Chains A and B, each alone.
Chain A
Amino acid sequence: MGHIVIQNVCQAYRNRRHHTREGDDPAIGYGDCIQVLDNVDLEFADGEMVCILGPSGCGKSTLLRIMAGFEPATGGTVSIDGKQVKRPGSDHIFVFQHNGLLPWMTVWENVGLGLRHMQAPQARAEKISEHIEMVELEGFEHHYPHQLSGGMQRRAELARALAVNPDILIMDEPFSGLDFLTHMKMREEVVNMHEFIGKTTIVVTHDIDDALIMGDRIVVMSERPARVKMNRTLDFSRPRDFQKDPALNKLRSEIFLMLGVAYAV
């Protein structure tokens, strides 16, 4: 299950200073601090595909890191199925923006990372190759990450994440740095994957079209400190095409405006 509740999450980082000053927030300690997340309140249903948009540097990755349990928030809580997230774990897997594969392990070993404790080697091998097939990397089992293209690396990382059968997948800009066609294919794969296994999937993206095509829910964040500016469920049928669907196209212009771009087509 992957029902997520994000309650009043705040995050601030301090630029270290070695003496206190009036007005310092005791919760953060001393030093000038920069407020990154400001009372973020969100709730995602189990199996939802959530796309998060927002200006660069607003705190999207920060929110994801808190959800993954990589860092504590200065305020508020994140809970999964009623249990507060305190540390990382294999029930909520983070898919990294860059180079999340371990470079000294082959594709096979990387995909098997989360299956280390499986007793039967036969079953383990089957599960690994099943997931390698799922992302169409057959024949590359014994390649190292640096021998793969950028898109293949992302697919291998996706296979590694899916192999542990997590309740939640957290993806930080999974398509950034890919060429246009690979981007399209990868997006299709993620959508298919989501339709097939139905895990709660949270995707941060810079691409509004990604969000419109993939999302069951779109969240738009404000400039830093990030607040939730828009939180809307999308019940457009798939496959979606905003050029043919006026309602979808209207939403698109709305989001463009919200992100500070006057978009008129």
Chain B
Amino acid sequence: MNAITASESTAQRILRHAVIPCLAFVLLLVVWDLLARFSGWSRQVFPGPLQVFMSLGELMLNGTLLQHTVASLFRVTAGFYLAVILGLPLGILLGRLRMARALLNPIIQFLRPISPLAWIPLSMLWFGIGDKPAVFLIFLSSFFPLVVSTTITVSAINPVFFQVAANFNFTRWEVITKIVIPAMIPGTITALRISVTIAWLVVVAAEMIAVQSGLGYLILDSRNALRMDYVMNGMIVIGLIGLLLDAIMRRLGRIESAGWYRNG
């Protein structure tokens, strides 16, 4: 906690963290309602908040929403974990070995700016229909950012730490576990936070093409049925889960920051 927030009273804190954000949402609902009433579009095309919340209840009660949410979350989790498991070790390798960097960096830099969406046709050909192509797209979307930022984090570690390690006869393995991994934690948490957001963006797009479930599919399918209220339900849940994922990642960062680098 910094000096400014420390001097804030509890009432001010509640105001800043709860009351004002809630007011903003109320304002959003009012604007939405007014736009829906007076835009001139029909209720079918531009449903108002009340209508959308009614159908949200409906989708929640009959289980559709839960089923699609679980499907999306499963794909994000699978693709994201895969990216973490492969991307972080590769990033450490590239950050530590200049030769590996010279070999692989050009390829990574070339592949990285290709949007995951451009991989849709190939991934469908390779993996068919179902979870696999979607998981593959999510993997791609998080893998490259994770590799690149891990490489940067690891290669920026203070060289003094490696000299200390050499001075105390650390083995290569000890250098990784006792120097590299602890030193890269703060940077890596930021990278994870950014890439999980990207993964969540991509899952929705991926589900519009390859699968018959998930929030992306819900949106596409509802559009085909001309149920714009369902489309909006899908959007709302996507937004809420995005908030949740970010909050989880932030919490992860806070647990770590109780440790050594809080003031470092």
Q: C-beta contact mask, B174-191 vs A, less than 8 Å → 1, else 0? A: 100011001101000000
With contact pairs A96-B160, A104-B183 given, residues A90 and B261 touching in the complex (Cβ less than 8 Å): no
Q: C-beta contact mask, A70-90 vs B, less than 8 Å → 1, else 0? A: 100000000000000001111
Q: Does A177 contact B (CB under 8 A)?
A: no
A88 to chain B, nearest CB (A): 4
Q: Does A30 contact B (CB under 8 A)?
A: no
Q: Do A144 and B164 touch across chains, with their CB atoms under 8 A apart?
A: no
A102 touches which of B164, B166, B259, B262 (Cβ 8 Å): B164
Q: Do A89 and B167 touch across chains, with their CB atoms under 8 A apart?
A: yes
CA distance A207 to B108 in the complex (A): 51
Q: Do B161 and A102 touch across chains, with their CB atoms under 8 A apart?
A: yes
Q: C-beta contact mask, A102-143 vs B, less than 8 Å → 1, else 0? A: 111100000001101000000000000000000000000000
B76 to chain A, nearest CB (A): 30
With contact pairs A89-B169, A146-B264 given, residues A100 and B164 touching in the complex (Cβ less than 8 Å): yes
Q: Does A68 contact B (CB under 8 A)?
A: yes
Residue ID in chain B nearest A92 by CB atoms: B167
Q: Do A70 and B166 touch across chains, with their CB atoms under 8 A apart?
A: yes
Residue ID in chain B nearest A103 by CB atoms: B260
With contact pairs A99-B160, A102-B179, A104-B183 given, residues A144 and B259 touching in the complex (Cβ less than 8 Å): yes
Contacts of B161 in A (CB 8 A): 102
Q: C-beta contact mask, A155-178 vs B, less than 8 Å → 1, else 0? A: 000000000100000000000000
CA distance A145 to B160 in the complex (A): 15
Q: Does B173 contact A (CB under 8 A)?
A: no
CA distance A13 to B259 in the complex (A): 39
With contact pairs A102-B161, A103-B260 given, residues A68 and B167 touching in the complex (Cβ less than 8 Å): yes
CA distance A145 to B158 in the complex (A): 15
CA distance A123 to B191 in the complex (A): 42
Interface size on A, residues (CB 8 A): 24
Residue ID in chain A nearest B263 by CB atoms: A146
Contacts of A94 in B (CB 8 A): 163, 167
CA distance A5 to B124 in the complex (A): 69
Q: Do A87 and B260 touch across chains, with their CB atoms under 8 A apart?
A: no
Q: Do B163 and A70 touch across chains, with their CB atoms under 8 A apart?
A: yes
Q: Does A4 contact B (CB under 8 A)?
A: no
Contacts of A88 in B (CB 8 A): 163, 166-167
24 residue pairs bridging A and B, Cβ less than 8 Å apart: A69-B166, A88-B163, A88-B166, A90-B167, A94-B167, A96-B163, A96-B164, A99-B160, A100-B160, A100-B164, A102-B178, A102-B179, A104-B185, A104-B259, A104-B261, A105-B182, A105-B260, A113-B168, A116-B168, A116-B174, A144-B259, A144-B260, A146-B261, A146-B262
- B→A interface (CB under 8 Å): 158, 160-161, 163-164, 166-169, 174, 178-179, 182-183, 185, 259-264
- A→B interface (CB under 8 Å): 68-70, 87-90, 93-94, 96, 98-100, 102-105, 113-114, 116, 144-146, 164
